[in-house]
Structure 1
Amino acid sequence: MTIYVNGRFLTQPTSGVQRFAREILTALDRELCQSPALRDRLGPIEVLVPQKVEAPGWRRFGLRHVPGGRGHLWEQGALWRASRDGVLVSLGNSGPLLHRAHVLCLHDANLWEIPQAYSARYRLWHRALRPRLARRAAALLTVSRHSATALAAQLHLAEDRFRIVANSAGHMLRLPSAPGVPARYGLTPGGYFLSVGNRSPNKNLRALIAAHAACGSKVPPLVLVGGEVPGIATQATAGGGRIKMLGRVPDGDLRGLYEGASAFVFAALHEGFGIPPLEAMQLGVPVICACSGAMPEVLGDAPLWFDPNDKGDIARAMRAFAHLESGKRSAMVHSGQKQAQRYCWRESARVLAQAVAGVPYQLPAGKQAARGVFGSESRPVENLF
């Protein structure tokens, strides 16, 4: 039996969902290169895409262009037809309704918790699609315990149906350090606060900018990185003054911008995981963060916390950090790096492989996979990593 991967994410701008899919598959590909036993256990893996894309450099995954439209039309038709003889893995919140051996990852419950962050068309489609996909899925994944609890409540499912497949920030360490990047953007190393994320209302940029303005010259200038995402509403934000908006930047520049920041500020209202503050921690940058969503679960005791619904409290946290002595800042850095090391793409790839390997036993009557594909005589997947 072949394992198929819904490769639609490869045609989309990179945000948190796309980053998750790329990195977890890259980690799985590395393990497959090193473990013949794991290759035998899982069998062939093929990534199906709606349009021709540049290959990500995977060595053990096939990449196949499947014509038949784009977007959801492609998923419901061409993708389903091309993958129905095997297990399908969809890592980006959507997939074909008719597939009966579907491993589906839903990242958060933001669609219900902050609906204004999405366009009306997006909300209408996904509120109809996701509950049906979740009920039909052979295995469900999500990125945090917070997301599992919120999704279970919104979808009327048992929370234990979700396996936790966490994000990580380990990918940042693969990028070369780039100390000269801030200067190329007209920035002084150690002389600015950084915030990274798309321009969704969920990221709460208006409140962050207003709070920063209220601080005046008591805090460094604020640099915003990130762009628009299709289907996601965009919150109008004003640059100028002591705010610098860079839009999307290459990953290599992003590491340099992180490492040049005095601190990283993250004001999101709802997050199923929140990769950017963990990336900052991984790179030794102190984090000032909204106490919301999955952030306390993911970031532990390392950040300086604030209430994202209170502009005054956001300003208080930024001023408090600006007055911290160097020893306390160093303690924040140490605590953050220690917390970031708890998350590993390799471990998440192992959980994904476990979920995929278990799917044939969950197929409906009359749809059993061929005996021996993932048979009980095989060693458990976790022993092959």
Structure 2
Amino acid sequence: MTKIYINARFLTQTITGVQRYALELVKEMDEMIDRGEIDSSEYEFCLLSPSNIVTRPDFKHIRHRVVGKLKGHLWEQFELPFHTKSGLLINLCNTGPAFNKNQIVTIHDAAVFNYPQAFSFAFRAWYKFLMVRLGKNSKKIITVSHFSKGELMQHCKIAEHKLVVTHLGIDHIHRKKAATGTKEKYGIDSPYILAVSTMNPYKNFNLIFDVLPEIEAHNLNVVIVGSKNSKVFGEQAWTESDTVNWVGYVTDEELKALYEDAAGFIFPSLYEGFGLPPLEAMASGCPVIVSSRASIPEVCGDAVLYFDPNSPKDAASRLIEITSNPDLSQQLSYKGKNHSGLFSWNKCAKDTVNIIMSTV
């Protein structure tokens, strides 16, 4: 029997886009085993994690084992390789053992190369070394957009034949029921513009504050979902405003409610490997405006309005369009729902399993 180990260090981390990808992908793989699409008599899948997990997996067929005594990068570099000697290791969240050759790694983007100033010195130094090393040693590198494929070839010198693109899925948002009372819980006044992201500088959230006068003039509020992680991204100063409601992390059910109730969704990012939040907003029927940079046009297609992320004036005019024109808002909502349906975790999982099967 062929053993496939999955690096489950992501179970110890707060769920953002990268961890979402890992969780949903493994869930779908588990369903594929259940449906007989993966032969469980031929392939054995097993999650391996350190002990400090915050998300407890619940799968029918894929086992989970806690191994080792270390945590974080030390666990991943020194203990995980020892426990995966007998099989192929799958790493889904940008990192993996630097010197393991029998592995596949998903690298979502090359942001540490393009925007080094957005990360702390220790973080970017380690990730730059690690990504280049993983590109050389791993059997395959999966990435999440054709844009990211080009970035990894350029910055990490990864051979094109090693790189495979698999787009993320969106159906997780449909499995959640919108939480009632979300706006009341967080003291949110309607109508509001929603923004969802980590507070990395290249996410360009300062643009939102630059357009606040226009937002306030149209009696709109802003709701921002996400945390300010200074340990990774360095210290930043954020403008305070009564119009802006920072809600931090929310549950998936609360996020669904915020998407559904928003007058519009803004995504001003300068750099994305994929960009899941706009698709989640589209799937929830929310009209979306996005930056015209990086992978975002590849992912969002013609179902959104684009703006220059360096132009607050351009972003403000797009916001006014979607919030003052009901016909346009309804049209974007319809197109967004249709477009988001092109992205499924089932397709992502099938593509990933095919890559695994061709590697073992």
Range class of TM-score, shorter chain: over 0.9
TM-score for the superposition, normalised by structure 2: 0.95
Amino acid at match of 1:72: H
Find the aligned partners of 2:38 and 2:90 in 1 and give their Cα distance.
21
Matched, 1:178 2:179: yes
Matched, 1:211 2:211: yes
Cα deviation for residue 14 of structure 1 reads 1.1
Find the aligned partners of 1:272 and 1:88 in 2 and give their Cα distance.
23
Matched, 1:58 2:59: yes
Match of 2:334 in 1: 334
Per-residue CA deviations over 1:94-120 (Å, capped at 9, x if unaligned) read 111222211100001111111122111
Match of 1:137 in 2: 138
Matched, 1:167 2:171: no
Cα deviation for residue 61 of structure 1 reads 1.1
Specify whether residues 37 and 266 from structure 1 end up closer, same or farther in structure 2 by C-alpha distance, changes over 3 A only: closer
For residue 233 of structure 2, give the secondary structure of its aligned residue in structure 1. Answer: coil
For residue 290 of structure 2, give the secondary structure of its aligned residue in structure 1. Answer: strand
Match of 1:374 in 2: none
Per-residue CA deviations over 1:51-93 (Å, capped at 9, x if unaligned) read 1435321111111111231111111110000002100000011
Specify whether residues 126 and 277 from structure 1 end up closer, same or farther in structure 2 by C-alpha distance, changes over 3 A only: same
Amino acid at match of 1:114: Y
Structure with greater contact order relative to length (CA < 8 Å, sep ≥ 6): 1
Find the aligned partners of 2:86 and 2:118 in 1 and give their Cα distance.
37
**Mapping 1:277-356, distance limit 5 Å:** 277-324=278-325, 326-356=326-356
Match of 1:92 in 2: 93
Worse overlay, 169-178 or 13-22 = 169-178
Specify whether residues 232 and 32 from structure 1 end up closer, same or farther in structure 2 by C-alpha distance, changes over 3 A only: farther
Find the aligned partners of 1:316 and 1:3 in 2 and give their Cα distance.
50
Match of 1:357 in 2: 357
Cα deviation for residue 217 of structure 1 reads 1.8
Amino acid at match of 1:335: K
For residue 39 of structure 1, give the secondary structure of its aligned residue in structure 2. Answer: coil
Cα contact 1:291–1:306 (8 A) shared by 2 = yes
TM-score for the superposition, normalised by structure 1: 0.89
RMSD: 1.6
Per-residue CA deviations over 1:254-302 (Å, capped at 9, x if unaligned) read 1111111011111111001111110000010000111111110000011
Amino acid at match of 2:350: R
Match of 2:147 in 1: 146
Match of 2:34 in 1: 33
Runs of 4+ in 1 over 6 A off after TM superposition: none
- Structure 1, unpaired ranges of 5+: 361-385
Match of 1:102 in 2: 103
Cα contact 1:201–1:234 (8 A) shared by 2 = no
Per-residue CA deviations over 1:154-188 (Å, capped at 9, x if unaligned) read 11233342211211221011111335322332224
For residue 231 of structure 1, give the secondary structure of its aligned residue in structure 2. Answer: helix
Match of 2:253 in 1: 252
For residue 41 of structure 2, give the secondary structure of its aligned residue in structure 1. Answer: helix
Find the aligned partners of 2:245 and 2:285 in 1 and give their Cα distance.
22
For residue 272 of structure 1, give the secondary structure of its aligned residue in structure 2. Answer: coil
Find the aligned partners of 1:51 and 1:85 in 2 and give their Cα distance.
21
Size of the alignment, in residue pairs?
357
Specify whether residues 37 and 351 from structure 1 end up closer, same or farther in structure 2 by C-alpha distance, changes over 3 A only: closer
